[in-house]
Structure formats: C-alpha cells, structure tokens
Amino acid sequence: MTYFTNSKYACIVEVEFQERFSEMTSYEDEENFGSYSVVGSFPKDFGYGPEDQDDIAHSDSKPRILLLGLRRSGKSSIQKVVFHKMSPNETLFLESTNKIVKDDISNSSFVQFQIWDFPGQIDFFDPAFDSEVLFGHCGALVFVIDAQDDYMEALGKLHMTVTRAYKVNPNIKFEVFIHKVDGLSDDHKIETQRDIHQRATDDLTDAGLEGLHLSFYLTSIYDHSIFEAFSKVVQKLVPQLPTLENLLNILITNSGIEKAFLFDVVSKIYVATDSSPVDMQSYELCCDMIDVVIDISCIYGLRDEGDSSAYDMESSSIIKLNNSTILYLREVNKFLALVCILRDVNFEKKGLIDYNFYCFRQAISEVCGISCQFRTARFRICD
C-alpha cells in the first residue's frame, strides 16, 4: 500500500475535504438527519416500536424472516436480544409464545424486513394453515435447534419444515441456528455441528432434495455469536450487498484500513464488511465500541437542557488500543455507522481517511436512494 507524502497534495485534499464537509453539513441538517430523541440509552428515532406500525399495512412487500423450531429452543429470546435490546438474563422470564408474533424491523434503509416468531407447536400440515401465503413471501427461514437438548426431534421437524417451505418457495434462504452453545465445550460444539449438518443433509439427499441448501451457525445469546449469525442472514436479504462490499473494499485499500464494518447501530448487525475474513474478536471490539459511543453520547452529548440531539451525524470516535491499533467510528447516516480497525501509523493520514470516508458516505446515500443529486463517489487514491 502506498501513501502520498507530498504535503502540497495533502493540503489540497484537506481543503477540498473542508469544503465538501460544509456542504454535507447543511445537507444533513435540512434533509436527512433530524434531531434524535433519546429514550433510555437509545435515540427514539431508531425505534422498532409502535411508530413503525403504520408501515405494517404496506409490509407485505418487505421480506420476512421466519423463526421456527421446537418449544423452548430460544426463538423469542433471539428476537428480543437482537432487536429489542433485552439482556440475555431477562429471557429466563419470557412467557412461551402461543400465537405468531410479527415484528416489523424498519430500522435502516437497507435492513427492511419483518420477523415472525412462531409458537413451537405450530403444524404446517394442518389444512387450516395457509403455507402458500406464509412461505410465498418468506426471504429467510431460521430454524433454531437447542444444542443443550436431545436434538433428534428437532431434526425431524427441521426436515418437515424445510421440505414443505421449499416446495412452496425454492428461493427461501434456509438457516439453521445450533443454539445455546454457551453450555458446550469447544470440542463438543464442533462435534454437534458436524453431526447435525451430516444428519440434516443426509435426510435431504434421501428425499431427493440436493438443491435445498442449509447454512449452519453456532449461536448463543450470551455472546456476540447471535449477532454475527443474524448479520449473515440479513445480508442475504440486502440486494445492494455487492455494491456495499465493493465500496468498503475501495475505502480500505485507499485508506490503510485493515477491516471495516458497516453497522446497523441499534441491532449491531453488520450490514456489510470488506471482503477480508471476519474474525470474531474484531467484530466484538467494534460492537463494544458502538455501545461505548452511544452511552457516552447520551451522557455528555447534550449541549443544553432541552437539546435532544445527543447522537447525530457529527458523532465520531477514536479509541486507541495498547497494541498500536486504532478503532475509528463515524456516523454514515441515522441508522448506519462505519467502524474501522487500523494500525496507528496509518492513522497519521487522518485527513485522507476522512476525505475518503466522506466520499464513501456520499456513495452510501446514493445507494440508499436518499439523494440523487450527489455524484458517484470517487476515492482519492494515494500513489
């Protein structure tokens, strides 16, 4: 990777950056980013709550993610922890679900979907049950298996469910969460995954359904694995994913960044990342950074009484770790944040990184369709 060392050039970049930034500020204020009302430690505008209910009438066009599995496998807990900020311990007190619970997730311009949480006892072969309608609009089917329990019954139900759904709609993405793995040793986790994978795919092969692909994830609500798995499920429903990955690749190669995640701030799902492999530790660090930034913004971000904009487009954060690594967070829009990991020597060119980030943000707003007036992003290549 090369960097420009010409100070005159650096200066031009800085000035251009300043000019574009002032242009951007007015854009933010007027069109895009209204004030944020804080509820608890989260801005109200981020809500997944009742204000989104109006959309439900039009929600049939949104892809659905169905959460299925046996009773007590952890479906409702997953939905509450990932999308409603419930702490994992509180899920111990969740009542069992006895009707389909539809949850409209309209939190970001990319992540637009509904989650349907099913009671464990539902029978898809009941004639009263309209599986055509249910699976017809389904984007992804997440089947949750309790790994701490005997999973033979769950495997039978998985097979029945996916074959039925596949017949109605072969475009569904089938995702299997091998859940509650917090109680398992590392060896046991791998062995369980191998066994479940083997048995489930054998059953499909026996039924002549080789075209039906299942993806497997080891998950737990007690660590970040559930967020990571849900990120991957949601990414499959984001049509702009290749464009986003491409933009992130361009950003990191031109800015000396090692890893970059585009986060949905409320759920901590990453909507996209560059194409280098994701390691769990980096993802956890970035998730923790989002928590820190939101908490600090809510405590110290208010300028005076009555000001509700504790967290807005000017929010950014730099965290220096003691291993010469920097975490750099910038707001991309009301819902999305970019979190980067880079070496501290590369951060000396912060002006360049900020300029490139600015171009990136413009490109994202174009991809979101927020504004057509911005030109396609160009990144300043440093050679």
Ligand X SMILES: Nc1nc2c(ncn2[C@@H]2O[C@H](COP(=O)(O)OP(=O)(O)O)[C@@H](O)[C@H]2O)c(=O)[nH]1
Instruction: Return residues touching Mg ion (CB under 5 A).
Output: 76, 97
Residue 338: exposure state from Cβ atoms within 10 A (0-12, 13-18, ≥19): buried
| Count helices and strands in the chain by DSSP H and E runs | 10, 13
- CB closer to Mg ion out of 42 and 116: 116
97 vs 161, beta carbon nearer Mg ion: 97
Which of 6, 12, 71, 275 contacts ligand X by CB under 6 A?
A: 71
- Tell whether residue 361 is a contact of ligand X (CB under 6 A): no
Q: Are the CB atoms for 74 and 221 separated by under 8 Å?
A: yes
- From the CB of residue 5, how many other CB atoms can be counted at a distance below 10 Å? 9
Considering the complex, what minimum distance in angstroms separates the CB of residue 160 from ligand X?
A: 17
DSSP 309-356: -SS-TT-EEEEE-TTSEEEEEEE-SSSEEEEEEEEGGGGGGHHHHHHH
Q: Which range binds ligand X by CB under 6 A, 8-16, 215-223, 269-277, 364-372?
A: 215-223
Restricting to residues 108-127, which ones interact with ligand X according to CB under 6 A? 120
The CB-of-181 to ligand X minimum distance in angstroms stands at 7
Task: For residue 71, count CB atoms less than 10 angstroms from its CB and return exposed for 0-12, middle for 13-18, buried for 19 or more.
Answer: exposed
Which tokens in the block code for residue 111? 């992540």
Binding to ligand X by residue 221, rule CB under 6 A? yes
356 binds ligand X (CB under 6 A): no
Stretch that binds ligand X, among 86-94, 98-106, 133-141, 275-283 (CB under 6 A): 86-94
Pairing of the two strands 42-43 and 64-69: unpaired
Residue 378 interacts, among Mg ion, ligand X, none and using kind-specific CB cut-offs from 5 to 8 Å, with none
Which of 57, 92, 152, 372 lies at the binding interface for ligand X (CB under 6 A)?
92
Least separation in angstroms between CB 175 and Mg ion:
18
Residues of this chain that interact with ligand X (CB under 6 A) are 69, 71-77, 91-92, 94, 96-97, 120, 179-180, 182-183, 220-222
